[in-house]
């Protein structure tokens, strides 16, 4: 296979993996993300680590947010007016952070498929690329979730 064809195929596959994972998780029922799993559980200490040592709060707004790209999607950039006291909205926001996290884990998992049709010297770089491009988004979701859970718990106590 010529190098230029290989580069085009790799680029096409990455576009497909990124958009496809977003579309696939968008089509999953929100109820699947209402409850945390052992994989999506975030401890307060972990969230503090993201803030204190990785400075997630300083760079998270530099990342694009595509939660509302597909019809019926959920934008996670900010809270609409009055929603900070709306427990149902906050619970949906928490579920959407789980959905977004899965959306960004999928391309990392799918990166191993490049080993099926690429030489090892090229295929080895695909998981590296996947981690570098998706890990920041995963960290943001994991850093935000405990704050949202505290907000939801506060709303539960007020009702």
Which pLDDT value is given to residue 12? 97
Q: Residue 82 burial by CB count (10 A; 0-12/13-18/19+): exposed, middle or buried?
A: exposed
Between CA 13 and CA 23, with CA 17 as vertex, the angle to 5 degrees is 140
pLDDT digits (tens, 9 = 90+) for 38-81: 888 888 889 999 999 999 999 999 999 888 888 888 888 887 77
- Mean pLDDT rounded to a whole number for the chain: 91
Which stretches of the chain are assigned E, i.e. beta strand?
none
pTM tops 0.85, yes or no: yes
Confidence of residue 159 (pLDDT cuts 50, 70, 90): low
3-class DSSP state of 55: coil
């Amino acid at each position: 296979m010529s190098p230029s064809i290989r580069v085009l195929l790799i680029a096409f596959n990455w576009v497909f993996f990124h958009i496809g994972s977003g579309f696939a998780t968008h089509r999953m029922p929100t109820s699947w993300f209402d409850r945390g799993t052992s994989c999506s559980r975030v401890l307060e200490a972990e969230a503090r680590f993201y803030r204190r040592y990785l400075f997630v709060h300083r760079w998270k707004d530099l990342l694009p947010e595509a939660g509302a790209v597909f019809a019926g999607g959920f934008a996670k950039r900010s809270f609409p007016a009055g929603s900070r006291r709306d427990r149902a909205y906050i619970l949906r926001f928490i579920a959407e952070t789980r959905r977004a996290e899965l959306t960004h884990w999928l391309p990392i998992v799918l990166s191993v498929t490049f080993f099926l049709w690429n030489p090892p010297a090229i295929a080895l770089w695909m998981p590296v690329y996947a981690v570098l491009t998706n890990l920041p988004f995963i960290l943001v979701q994991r850093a935000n979730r405990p704050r949202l859970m505290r907000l939801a718990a506060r709303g539960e106590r007020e009702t």
